[in-house]
């Protein structure tokens, strides 16, 4: 797992109004969770955006540099404005090197599938992440599944993964990750399109792992 640093400052203000003021001042409001405790902090918006862009789809261990000393953490989730893309809020989970942690890790497929290229099949995707339990230094950035040699009818399930020693997979072993199926030619009538009433845009929540029990502060 990659390790990065972020400069973080404690904040005394809470609430939506205070959060808006922080954003106008170039900061992103955030919270660091540890068990049932929470620490409100703020991070320079440019630094936080750079961190998220660099680590998109990956689990990374981050050192939060606070005035009273560094803290090790992982990014749990963040909220973005769906229209402007501005970061609204970030949640971190503090961790200890000696304590196992439960976390979700993304699955990435690699290779050019022979069942698709040669046999004209199609890849059928199942789950896109798995839940694991391990020590922080064992957390993989992502899980890789090579589909190169998969032919029609072949599948990969959670039970087929080999993540190495020290990593316990919590996801149901029978869950499908990816499979190759034959392409069936069917004539299907075009569905009737019904215009729906527009809905107000809601903040986009992007998960990096399991949600914390506490609701994020806006």
| 3-97+203-207: CATH number | 2.40.240.10
- The CA distance from 141 to 47, in Å, is 20
Supply the pLDDT for residue 89.
Answer: 94
Q: For 176-202, how does the pLDDT look when each residue is reduced to its tens digit (9 = 90+)?
A: 999 999 987 544 555 555 555 455 556
Tell me if domain 3-97+203-207 and domain 102-181 are identical in fold: no
- The CA distance from 110 to 77, in Å, is 26
This prediction's pTM: 0.73
- The CA distance from 12 to 7, in Å, is 17
- Burial 194-214, CB ≥16 within 10 A → b, else e: eeeeeeeeeeeeeebbeebee
Domain residue limits, the chain: 3-97+203-207, 102-181
Which residues does residue 109 pair with via DSSP β-bridges, in sequence order? 145
Supply the pLDDT for residue 105.
Answer: 94
Question: Mean per-residue pLDDT for 151-172?
Answer: 96
Question: Mean per-residue pLDDT for 31-40?
Answer: 90
Q: Do residues 117 and 68 lie in contact, with contact meaning Cβ atoms separated by under 8 Å? A: no
- The CA distance from 138 to 100, in Å, is 9
Q: Do residues 58 and 195 lie in contact, with contact meaning Cβ atoms separated by under 8 Å? A: no
Hey, which CATH number is domain 102-181, 2.10.109.10, 1.10.1740.10, 3.30.300.30, 2.170.120.20?
2.170.120.20
| 161, two tokens | 């993964």
């Amino acid at each position: 797992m990659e390790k990065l640093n972020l400069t973080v400052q404690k904040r005394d203000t809470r609430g939506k109004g205070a959060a808006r003021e922080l954003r106008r001042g170039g900061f992103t409001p955030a919270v660091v969770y540890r068990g049932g405790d929470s620490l409100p902090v703020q991070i320079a918006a440019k630094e936080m955006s750079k961190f998220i862009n660099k680590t998109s789809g990956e689990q990374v261990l981050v050192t939060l540099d606070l005035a009273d000393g560094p803290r090790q953490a992982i990014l749990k989730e963040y909220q973005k404005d769906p229209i402007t893309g501005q970061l609204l809020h970030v949640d971190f989970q503090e961790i200890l090197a000696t304590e196992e942690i439960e976390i979700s890790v993304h699955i990435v497929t690699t290779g050019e599938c022979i069942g698709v290229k040669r046999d004209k099949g199609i890849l059928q995707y199942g789950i896109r992440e798995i839940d694991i339990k391990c020590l922080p230094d064992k957390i993989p950035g992502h899980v890789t599944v090579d589909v190169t040699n998969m032919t029609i009818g072949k599948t990969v399930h959670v039970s087929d993964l080999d993540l190495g020693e020290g990593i316990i997979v919590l996801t149901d072993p029978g869950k499908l990750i990816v499979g190759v199926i034959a392409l069936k030619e069917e004539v299907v009538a075009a569905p009737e399109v019904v215009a729906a009433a527009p809905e107000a845009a809601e903040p986009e929540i992007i998960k990096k792992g399991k949600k914390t029990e506490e609701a994020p502060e806006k």
